[in-house]
Each structure stands twice: as structure tokens, then as C-alpha cells.
Amino acid sequence: MIGMARRFSTPFTCTAVVPQPSTCFEIHSSLENLLLFAQVLTRPIQKGRYLPQVMSGKTAMVTGITGQDGSYLAELLLDKGYEVYGLVRRVSQPTSGRSLINHLLTNEKFHLVNGDLADQNSIDNAVAQSQPDEFYNLGAMSFVPESWRSPMMTADITGLGALRCLEAIRKHAPHCRFYQAGSSEQYGKVRDVPQTEATPFHPRSPYGCAKVFAFEITRNYRESYDMFACTGILFNHESPRRGLEFVTRKVTMTAARIAKGFDECLWIGNVDAKRDWGFAGDYVEMQWRMLQQDTPGDYVVATGRTHSVRDMITLAFSHVGMNLVWSGEGVDTIATDQDGTIRVRTNPKFFRPAEVDLLIGDPALAEKELGWVPGTSFEELVQMMVDSDVAIVEEAVKGGYAPPIPPE
Ligand code: NAP
Ligand code: F7E
């Protein structure tokens, strides 16, 4: 039997009620286990890197609130005294699908509004009713490989979705400031190294193309209607809340599973791709800062450092005591640990029809105009993610249920 399901940003929890016959444990659907999982993921950020708390009295609407960035941004805005409205897709099992924001549901300043970026009516109603001062459009189909499988849906949600938000604001709350979640995927086949706000775009996936449309329409609404509308061109940012299919989290969860005896080996794609990886908790601060300035503008948000997928894997595995030695090339690439066991193998199915080989952003403008600098190093980020995933696997073992498996 083949079950067809809508893609969700937190798939483990959303599909937790589906039995997984190929795993050695049955996944329990009990609320307790889901809450336990959510508690690990939503532990507060330890370092005090946010600006001092301001009791703002402002109202913000956030799309994509159930995702990685949405959950961190909601925490930041609540901390600053905002009334926060999160747009959520209607799901049949609301508790399980919202593991990253379950801890916010009892906050009286936190509200969920049903809506979908594909549906203009629902966004119109949400904006008209909540009358936000600031609107953060973080919602998207954000997984690049899926964008080749579902290009129309990606264009509709990731591209046109931004236009629907702008239209809703123009009609129902023209005073509202708008933030669009742009992406380094807009640069694709890069024309400059490092990439700046002036670097031309050359997207390499339907996702990248949709983000270029969203960027351009945001600029167009700013110029056409004098709206306060900005795009943050964000480079890859990760955290313990990152979706399990993205490479960093796939690596850290698999390293944790291998360390605890659930798997023997990580199956991976192109390990030579290079990314500028930062910490999502640092990056949502910049999203907020962009809407606090006097004039709207677009900014690169990045660390200015790049690492290969291979380096990221080596670092993650070293945190669980495995020192990898690499050999082979392309689809024959493997890595063995100090005992000679193969811990990484390559599968061509994880390669992309068109790859973005190298991304490295120049965050100089963000520092100069908004005083923003990333506070977390690559090494700290990887360690934080490995530690979190080891804790998740250990808690699953204690609870007698199966630890999460990264989807393919
Ligand atoms: P994410 O974890 O994948 O979250 C995506 C969010 O979009 C989820 O809340 C999802 O809701 C929502 N969504 C998907 N389809 C929707 C629809 N039809 N209507 C309403 N909401 C919908 O993404 P993220 O990593 O937090 O990224 C946030 C934003 O930044 C995205 O726009 C992404 O493209 C962009 N971005 C991310 C990075 C990065 O490295 N993380 C870098 C550059 C740009 P469900 O829970 O219902 O699925
Ligand atoms: O891939 C390579 C893959 O899926 C990173 C999204 O948040 O950041 C993200 O997009 C690199 C690519 O992220 C596997 O080929 C190798 O070169 O973690 P990723 P992404 O495609 O860079 C941008 C900025 C966004 O805007 C997006 O929304 O890793 N890679 N082997 C692999 N990637 C995955 N997922 N799985 C592998 O097995």
C-alpha cells in the first residue's frame, strides 16, 4: 500500500501515527512521546545574543511559524512584547504537527490563524483581522530537491505566496512592514565570490527561481506602492530544529543513530558542495532588525565562511568519537572510521539535476547598517546539533520508542 501525504516541515511528528514496519521499534503515537521530542527541540537558546528586551506593544504576523525559523522568530518577538499571530495550515492532527511551537500555545500573546499561502482569501482575512504592524513571510516549500518533483506547487507557494501576502497588506493593512525570506539559492551558479547584495541572480532549481520572483515582486511593491517591504537574502542556517531531510540535520541525526547502534552507515550525495552555514537563532534576530530601520532595504545574511559537506560530516562524526578517513571520488566516495568500518557511502539518488557548488555570503552591509554579526561558529553549530540529536536518540531509547529517521 502506498500512502500519499502532504509534505510538512516537521515530518517526523506529523506522520508519527503511521506505523513504520521496517524499524526495529514501533513509533508510538502517544502525545507524551511527541511532547518529549518537542521539549528537546525547543530548549531555549542559552547565549544572550538578542538585543535587550523591548516591550513593544506591536503586533506581528508570521507565516511558516511551525518551521525552524518561524519557531525561533516567534520566541524572539514574544520576548520583545509583541502580540504574535502565526498562520498555520489546517491539519487533521494539530498537536502532532506543531512540535516546534507547542511550548508557545499557552502564551496569551500567541495566536494561531488558519490559512494557506496558496489561498488569497485566507491571507486577506488573517491580515484584515489581526491588523499587524509587521508581517514576516517565512512560509515556503523550502526543500530544494522537492522543488524538481513539485515545481508548480513550489512556484505557487514559495513564489506567488509572497505576492499574495503583499496584496493582502496593500488592501487591508498598508501601514504594515513586510519581511520576505529570500535565499542564497537565488545566486545559484554564482557570478561573484563572495556574494553581496549586488551579485546578479542565476538560480539553479525551481525553488531558486520561485525565490527570485518573490524577491523581485517584493522590490516592485516597495517601488510601486511605497510599501516598507524588504528581503533578507539568507544563506543556509541550521539548528537542532532543522528539518531532518536537510543535509546538516540528516548528518547529525544519523551520526547519533550510528553512535547508539541504530544504523551502521550514512548514505549521502555530493560531499564537495560548499555552503555558508550559520545558526538560525542568530539569523531571526536579523529578520527583526530589518523591519526596525528607517528605510527599507535588502540584506545578505551570512557568516562569510564556507565549508564542504565533507568537512561538515567529518566534524559531526568526530563529536561522536568517529575519526573518518575519506577515499574515492564522486559516486564512489566513502569514509571509514578508525576501526575500518565504512561509515559514509554515496548514493547517486541524492545528487541534484543542477547543483549549487559554492556559496559564501558577504554580510558587511548587515554589520555596517544594522550592527548585526553572527554569534555562533560553524564548530559550535555542529556540536550543538549533534548533542541535541544524541539526546533525542537517548530519550527515545529510554521511552521505548523509535528515534527519528531522516526521510529520503
Ligand atoms: P521550514 O522549516 O521548511 O518551514 C517552512 C514553513 O512553511 C513551515 O511552517 C510550513 O508549514 C510552511 N508552509 C509550507 N507550505 C505552506 C503553505 N502552503 N501555506 C502556509 N504555510 C506553508 O523552513 P525554514 O528553514 O524555517 O525557512 C524559513 C524560510 O526561509 C523559508 O521561506 C525558506 O525558504 C527560507 N530560507 C531558509 C533558509 C535556511 O537555511 N533555513 C535559507 C534561506 C531561506 P507546515 O508545518 O504546515 O509544513
Ligand atoms: O543541501 C548537498 C546538496 O538540502 C545542502 C534550504 O534551507 O538552504 C537550504 O537549501 C548541500 C547541497 O540545503 C545530501 O547537494 C549532499 O549542495 O541541506 P540542503 P540547500 O539545498 O542548500 C537554502 C539557502 C535555502 O533557501 C533552502 O530553503 O548538501 N547534499 N548530500 C545533500 N543534501 C541533502 N539534503 N541530502 C543529502 O543526502
| Confidence bin at 15 (pLDDT 50/70/90) | very low
CATH number, domain of 135, equals 3.40.50.720
Residue 271 CA: nearest ligand 2 atom is 16
Helical packing angle, 309-319 and 247-259, nearest 10°: 30
247 CB within 6 A, ligand 2: yes
Structure confidence at residue 98 as a pLDDT band (50, 70, 90): confident
| 301 within some domain | yes
Domain that holds residue 222: 13-245+277-305+358-379+391-399
What residues have CB less than 8 Å from 266, skipping those under 6 apart?
A: 250, 251, 254, 255, 258, 313, 343, 344, 345
> What is residue 293's predicted lDDT score, i.e. its pLDDT?
97
| pLDDT above 70 (res 14) | no
**Residue of the nearest CA to atom 24 in ligand 2?**
236
Q: Residue 201: pLDDT above 80?
A: yes
**pLDDT for 41:** 56
Residue 149 lies in a domain: yes
The reported pLDDT for the residue numbered 316 is: 99
What per-residue confidence (pLDDT) applies to 8?
Answer: 72
Q: Has residue 341 been placed in a domain?
A: no
Whole-Å CA distances, 15 to 10, 18, 29? 9, 6, 9
Ligand 1 — pocket residues by CB below 6 A?
A: 8-10, 63-70, 87, 89, 116-118, 138-142, 157, 181, 183, 234, 236-237, 243
- 189 alpha carbon – ligand 2 mean position (Å): 15
Q: Which residue has the CA at smallest separation from atom 14 of ligand 1? A: 140
The pLDDT assigned to 142 comes to: 98
Q: Is residue 265 assigned to a domain?
A: no
| Residue 36 confidence (pLDDT) | 42
| Residue 127 falls inside a structural domain | yes
Q: What is the pLDDT of residues 276-328, one digit of tens each?
A: 999 999 999 999 999 999 999 999 999 999 999 999 999 999 999 999 999 99
- Quick: pLDDT tens for 223-261: 999 999 999 999 999 999 999 999 999 999 999 999 999
| Antiparallel, parallel or unpaired: β 325-327 and 334-336 | antiparallel
Least confident of 96-105, 222-231, 257-266, 269-278: 96-105
pLDDT at 47: 33
Pick from 6, 8, 9, 242 the residue to mutate for probing ligand 1's pocket: most ligand atoms within 8 Å of its CB: 9
The reported pTM is: 0.92
CA distance 172 to 303: 37
Per-residue pLDDT tens over the stretch 34-78: 444 455 455 443 333 333 344 579 999 999 999 999 999 999 999
Please check whether residue 252 lies inside any domain of the structure: no
Is the minimum distance from the CB of 185 to ligand 2 under 6 angstroms?
A: yes
| 275 Cβ below 6 A of ligand 2 | yes
**b/e map 284-322, b = 16+ CB within 10 Å:** bbbbbbbbeeeebebbbbbbbebbbbbebbbbbbebbeb
Q: Does 384 score more than 80 pLDDT?
A: yes
pLDDT of residue 65: 98
Rounded distance between C-alpha atoms, residue 79 and residue 297, angstroms: 25
The Cα-based distances of 38 to 104, 245, 385 in angstroms read: 11, 17, 15
Q: For ligand 2, is residue 101 a contact (CB within 6 Å)?
A: no
For residue 181, tell me if it sits in a domain: yes
Number of domains in the chain: 1
Residue 258 lies in a domain: no
Mean pLDDT of 90-107: 85
pLDDT band at 19 (very low <50, low <70, confident <90, very high): very low
Give the pLDDT score at 32: 40
In this predicted structure, what is the pLDDT of residue 194? 98
| Residue whose CA is at the smallest distance from ligand 2 atom 10 | 144
pLDDT in tens, 154-195: 999 999 999 999 999 999 999 999 999 999 999 999 999 999
Confidence of residue 6 (pLDDT cuts 50, 70, 90): confident
**CA 256 to CA 253: how far, in whole Å?**
5
